[in-house]
Amino acid sequence: MKSYPGIPDGYELKYNLDLLKNRSAFLILNVLSIVVIIPFLFGIALFDFGSLDTFTVFFILPLFLVVIIIHEWIHGFFFHRYSGAKVKYQFHGWAFSASTPGIVYLKKYYYIIGLAPAVILNLLLIIGSVFLPAPYDLLSYFVLICHVSGCAGDFYVTFSILKYPKETYIEDTGTGMKFYVKSEPQPFESFD
């Protein structure tokens, strides 16, 4: 199955990542959000800043907020697509999230859920950066940089589940993830 309401029989919790409690993981994500944009900073030199005006610069933040909302809606679309469950949207003070607490997803479907916004929106923003006229190309590029930085958590989770078997199930709690793997059979004890 693509998803289960609850933990499937024969599975146990292997890893619980809660960003509200795990300060080191939270710090790693913040550093990663800066590191992933470094290659994009070199690309800024390819744009014409002469056509950039205050009016256009003013739209970077509102446009980025719209992109964040669309990003979470894309997560939500795929959560719902693979489970039929109602999606919970939240703001945690430092990030927005879409989740379906209590529903676990098979690893291969969680890859799609986790990476769909990065693939779809980053591709659209790259196309905008290449084909839109100035200054909108630069505006699209700045929003792309912000969005790539915002995808750091999705990249982190995707990388984290690579080491787990394909039968792994993932629950997204909004502020973290729980990874469930098949239980190891317990050795039989002899009472001789």
Name the residue ranges covered by the structural domains of the chain.
3-40+55-182
186: DSSP letter: P
The residue-averaged pLDDT of 68-88 equals 96
Q: Which residues of 20-40 are buried (b: 16+ CB within 10 A; e: fewer)?
A: eeeeebbeebeebbeebbeeb
For position 50, what pLDDT does the model report?
A: 76
Distance CA 14, CA 179 (A): 6
Across 4-13, 95-104, 129-138, 181-190, least confident range = 181-190
Average pLDDT value for the chain: 89
Tell me which residue of 159, 151, 36 sits closest to 107, measured CA to CA. Answer: 159
Q: What is the pLDDT of residue 56?
A: 75
Q: Between residues 184 and 34, which one has the greater pLDDT?
A: 34
Position 51 scores a pLDDT of 74
- Give pLDDT tens digits for 7-60: 889 999 999 988 878 888 888 888 999 999 999 988 888 887 777 778 777 888
What pLDDT does residue 188 have?
59
Output the pLDDT for position 47: 82
Residue 133 has pLDDT above 70, yes or no: yes
Burial class (CB in 10 A: 0-12, 13-18, 19+), 93: exposed
- Percent of the chain topping pLDDT 70: 95
What pLDDT is attached to residue 186? Answer: 60
